[in-house]
Amino acid sequence: MMSAAQSQTTLVSKLQGLQCHFTWNLDTSRAKLLRFRERFEDFGTEDGHCWLGHIYNLRGFIEYKLGFTEEAQSFFNKATEAFCRIRIADEGPWLVVNYGNLAWLHHHLGDPAESEAYLTKVDALMNEYPSPSQDKLHPEISAEKAWTLMRFSTDKMPLALDYFLKAIEMQSDMVEWNTCHILGLMFASEHSSTAVGADILEKMRIAKEKDPENLYLAVHYLDQCAKKGERIEDEARELAREVLRNPVSRYSGIKPLLIVYRNYLSVDEAIDLAEEVLRNHPDEHYLKGCAALCYRWKIVDNDSRRTQSLMDRAISLHEDMISLYPHSSLKKKIDLAHIYAESTNGLAKAEQIYQELLERDLEPVDKQMLYYSYAQHLKFHGQDRNRSLRYYMQVAEIRQQFFFREKSIKVLVNIRDKGRGRMCREIEEFLENLQEPVTYYFDYLHVN
């Protein structure tokens, strides 16, 4: 007869073999979890949302990792219900990840019997619905893993795209998988050194035909067409009317549409659209963020006329966002400091915000963003070139490869190459001590 210790070891071994959020090696640092928890509040949860089960599964995992087990179980149960409604079936392979999450949760809650019960359900589903390919995950599992990695770990985008491709190859009739895969290819291309290719644009066109109600895809396709030189102003305004009629969520298409308005129509039209949609949905937090972004664009545009009412509205929206998203507020606080710096008699307030942020214990990437922004502030508003250069150096000292580090090193390289200024020699020695070729960063920025 198996002892209690042996039984526990066997249970853990079975759990570790599951495909679910608890075994996918997701980055679960508390700061990141809190930010994602706030972000997921903006995901649409209306009935019929094709990713609703996946959303609830990931939210349940986040709640568990933050220590809220009751909320975690509630979201996992909602995921079960959502999958059954969307698939119009009481069971199927789409529940494997969900049951795996519940097996892990009950194990952590100290309920081995319930954990075993969900393990049995997983085994039954795997036996009844085997993968079409013996050496690959079932397409339902592969697609959910792809969606999760794409949303939760952007550094794993290549892996996510690979999982989506494998799922589509085995089950090609799932329109939402193909749409998500194509959007992922587009995002990956935009963050590489090459522009979105004609093949991806054609794939986006085909995906749009197969998924005509997906306005998020439609907006991004329109944006890519504009980048190829097409005139899209009338289509953008028509698309805006459709977006306004749809439920609001992070993936309704409103934010990328505002970017299209800014780039190809005008910032003023973007502001008008943002204010209109916010009037229609005054309690939607996400829309306040979209409006705040438009006002920031207006303020950083050197050709814009900055009235006091415009500055006041921008400040009010940013303060609202900081209050609504306390764990995701660093960027908004930096933006607010910039707005104050651009306003009449606002330099002291901008400096106060920066000093408060500089005292915070931040993750390395967040430090890079803050130090770079403060260096820019000192350079353009504080008229303190030497302190500005020292903050660029602090950014460069943080080894994570990120946009702000590359930009900072480019600034320092330019100072070194000009050979002027009393800090020139110090900067030259600093760059030598980085013990890495700085030309890489220059080349990267040149092609991007």
Q: For 61-108, how does the pLDDT look when each residue is reduced to its tens digit (9 = 90+)?
A: 999 999 999 999 999 999 999 999 999 999 999 999 999 999 999 999
pLDDT of residue 119: 97
pLDDT of residue 154: 72
The residues near 241 (Cβ < 8 Å, ≥ 6 apart) are: none
Query: Which stretch, 111-115, 363-367, 426-430, has highest mean pLDDT?
Result: 111-115
The pair of structure tokens assigned to 420 is: 């002027």
Neighbours of 234 (CB within 10 A): 8
Distance (Å, rounded) from C-alpha 207 to C-alpha 363?
38
For residue 439, what pLDDT band results from cuts at 50, 70 and 90?
very low
> If you average pLDDT over residues 312-320, what whole number do you get?
96
Higher pLDDT, 399 or 65: 65
> If you average pLDDT over residues 356-367, what whole number do you get?
92
Give the tens place of pLDDT for each residue, 18-50: 999 999 999 888 888 999 999 888 887 665 578
Helix axes 198-210, 175-190, angle to 10 degrees: 150
Distance (Å, rounded) from C-alpha 415 to C-alpha 425?
10
What is the value of pTM for the model shown?
A: 0.87
Give the tens place of pLDDT for each residue, 195-245: 557 788 999 999 999 999 999 999 999 999 999 999 999 999 999 999 998
Which amino acid appears at position 136 of this protein? Answer: K
Cα atoms in the 13 Å half-sphere on the side-chain side of 290: 32
pLDDT of residue 42: 85
Give the tens place of pLDDT for each residue, 269-309: 999 999 999 999 998 999 999 999 999 999 988 666 788 99
> If you average pLDDT over residues 108-123, what whole number do you get?
96
Among positive and negative, which fits the CA dihedral 242, 245, 251, 257? positive
pLDDT of residue 415: 86
Distance (Å, rounded) from C-alpha 349 to C-alpha 338?
10
What is the overall mean pLDDT for the chain?
89
pLDDT of residue 152: 81
Distance (Å, rounded) from C-alpha 36 to C-alpha 151?
9
For residue 7, what pLDDT band results from cuts at 50, 70 and 90?
low
Percent of the chain with pLDDT over 70: 92
Distance (Å, rounded) from C-alpha 357 to C-alpha 367?
10
pLDDT of residue 214: 93
pLDDT of residue 191: 61
> If you average pLDDT over residues 263-273, what whole number do you get?
96
In the block, which residue shows the tokens 């707005």?
A: 339
Cα–Cα distances in Å, from 309 out to 78, 306, 316, 340? 44, 8, 10, 13
pLDDT of residue 46: 65
Residue 228 has φ and ψ, to the nearest 5°, of -85, 5
Higher pLDDT, 3 or 43: 43
Percent of the chain with pLDDT over 90: 71
The pair of structure tokens assigned to 383 is: 């008229």
pLDDT of residue 162: 96
pLDDT of residue 438: 46
> If you average pLDDT over residues 321-336, what whole number do you get?
95
pLDDT of residue 1: 43
> If you average pLDDT over residues 118-138, what whole number do you get?
95
> What domains are defined for the chain?
4-129 (1.25.40.10)
Q: Answer yes or no: is pLDDT of 372 > 60.
A: yes
Give the tens place of pLDDT for each residue, 151-193: 887 778 999 999 999 999 999 999 999 999 999 999 888 765 4
Distance (Å, rounded) from C-alpha 267 to C-alpha 269?
5
pLDDT of residue 399: 84
